């Protein structure tokens, strides 16, 4: 079972209000508690932007295309990415299952849960769906079961912890309009409307973290071209390729092998094949998941390569190095026409492989 920390997109958030903060209200509730109506009214009352499950689905379709199949466990990370982007333009009310687990350490977060007894929820379904009591009760059982399955698939568990919410409203006697008044009062008491929007640098950081997690689920570029994928030697290489795809950075996998040691007769005794070539930067990349203190042999090979081929630009990449590359070259900004999608292939040619545009 995964910890909540896995889903907290905002663990690095500042502990006080500032330019990186944002105002975010999450609303979730039991089926039949009318929490969706309450969320809409809360957004209207405060002037916040409403993001519900339907809006999220629409935004995912815009980014990835119709018919895109997303692993349910990957949805929280994609929600983080989408919410971070929207939070640079609006304060948000997010009405989506499990949203209270996202950004939980941001000071501008207010987490609302709406509940009601079964009899009340059955009555709501009878009125809204025009059902008799037995049919409404059966529908409620189905909706409760669906909600539990969604939570289990997304977060690995069903149970709700009281400490996951800042405010719980019971709609036995409260109408959605009254719930909206209560939540708006709490938001005003917290001065949420006075919070700044999410800073661009913070948004880029959050989206990078979310996309890194998504790449581990094999989720890569929108509208990805179905070129044949190479057989990667290590899972970290596939994660790296997926993340490059996400940012539309062209890449080639093991496109060139460099001889670095010969015998007296000129036969190659040792060679080195970098993991990736990035045509945009004319850069060869060697990935390593090892600690830097344990890469002596690899560093020796790279030192030899640099001595023999001084015109070749090569770098050993750790995860932090890739993050620096993204921010240094502004790749966190969406530029859909910057480059074609990924290149792939594995050759041992004496010359570098063709750039993506040459395919």
Angle at 329 between CA 328 and CA 335, to 5 degrees: 140
- List, by residue range, all CATH 3.40.50.300 domains of the chain: 4-213
CATH number 3.90.950.20 given to 4-213: no
Q: Are 98 and 175 in contact (CB under 8 A)?
A: no
Q: What is the pLDDT of residue 325?
A: 62
Map residue 208 onto helix, strand or coil: helix
Q: What is the pLDDT of residue 251?
A: 86
Helix 176-189 × helix 35-46 angle, to 10°: 50
Per-residue confidence of the chain (359 residues) as pLDDT tens digits? Answer: 333 334 456 443 333 444 447 899 999 999 999 999 999 999 999 999 999 999 998 888 887 777 777 778 888 888 888 998 899 999 999 999 999 998 877 889 999 999 999 999 999 999 999 999 999 999 999 999 999 999 998 888 888 889 999 999 999 999 999 999 999 999 999 999 999 898 887 888 887 778 777 777 777 655 443 445 688 888 778 878 877 877 778 888 998 999 999 998 888 899 999 999 998 888 999 988 655 555 677 888 889 999 999 999 998 887 677 666 666 555 555 433 333 333 333 333 333 333 333 32
The most distant pair of C-alpha atoms in the chain lies apart, rounded to whole Å, by 92
The β-bridge relationship of strands 258-262 and 109-115 is unpaired
**The two structure tokens encoding residue 111:** 């987490």
Map residue 141 onto helix, strand or coil: helix
Beta partners for 49? 92
Written in H, E and C, the secondary structure of 293-339 is HHCHHHHHHHHHHHHHCCCCCEEEECHHHHHHHHHHCCCCCCCCCCC
Q: Are 275 and 287 in contact (CB under 8 A)?
A: yes
Angle at 191 between CA 189 and CA 196, to 5 degrees: 165
- C-alpha to C-alpha distance for 155 and 138, rounded to whole angstroms: 26
Helix ranges, 92-191 (H): 118-129, 133-155, 176-189
Query: How many C-beta atoms surround the C-beta of residue 195 within 10 A?
Result: 20
Q: What is the pLDDT of residue 348?
A: 32
Q: What is the pLDDT of residue 246?
A: 72
Q: What is the pLDDT of residue 322?
A: 66
Q: What is the pLDDT of residue 229?
A: 66
Q: Is the pTM of this model over 0.85?
A: no
């Amino acid at each position: 079972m995964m910890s909540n920390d896995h889903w907290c997109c905002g663990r690095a958030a500042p502990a006080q209000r500032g330019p990186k903060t944002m105002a975010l209200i999450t609303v979730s509730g039991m089926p039949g508690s009318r929490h969706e109506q309450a969320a809409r009214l809360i957004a209207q009352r405060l002037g916040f932007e409403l993001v519900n499950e339907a809006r999220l689905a629409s935004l995912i379709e815009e980014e990835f295309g119709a018919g895109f199949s997303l692993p349910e466990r990957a949805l929280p990370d994609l929600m983080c990415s989408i919410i971070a982007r929207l939070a640079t333009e609006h304060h948000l009310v997010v009405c989506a299952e499990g949203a209270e687990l996202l950004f939980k350490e941001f000071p501008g977060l207010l987490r609302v849960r709406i509940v009601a007894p079964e009899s009340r929820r059955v009555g709501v379904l009878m009125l809204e769906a025009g059902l008799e009591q037995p049919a409404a009760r059966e529908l409620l059982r189905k909706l409760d079961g669906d909600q539990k399955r969604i939570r289990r698939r997304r977060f690995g568990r069903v149970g709700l912890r009281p400490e996951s919410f800042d405010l719980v409203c019971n709609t036995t006697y409260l109408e959605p309009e009254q719930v909206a008044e209560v939540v708006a009062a709490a938001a005003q008491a917290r001065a949420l409307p006075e919070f700044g929007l999410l800073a661009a640098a913070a948004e880029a950081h959050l989206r990078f973290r979310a996309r890194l997690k998504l790449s581990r689920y094999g989720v890569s570029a929108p509208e990805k071209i179905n070129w044949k994928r190479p057989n990667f030697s290590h899972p970290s290489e596939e994660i790296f390729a997926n993340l490059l795809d996400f940012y539309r950075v062209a890449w080639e996998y093991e496109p060139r092998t460099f001889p670095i040691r010969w015998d007296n007769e000129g036969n190659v005794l040792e060679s080195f094949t970098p993991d990736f070539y990035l045509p945009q930067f004319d850069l060869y990349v060697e990935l390593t998941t090892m600690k830097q203190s344990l890469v002596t042999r690899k560093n020796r090979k790279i030192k030899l390569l640099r001595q023999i081929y001084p015109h070749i630009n090569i770098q050993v990449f750790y995860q932090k190095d890739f993050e620096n590359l993204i921010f240094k070259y502004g790749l966190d900004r969406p530029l859909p026409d910057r480059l074609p999608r990924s290149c792939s292939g594995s050759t041992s040619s004496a010359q570098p492989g063709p750039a993506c545009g040459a395919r």
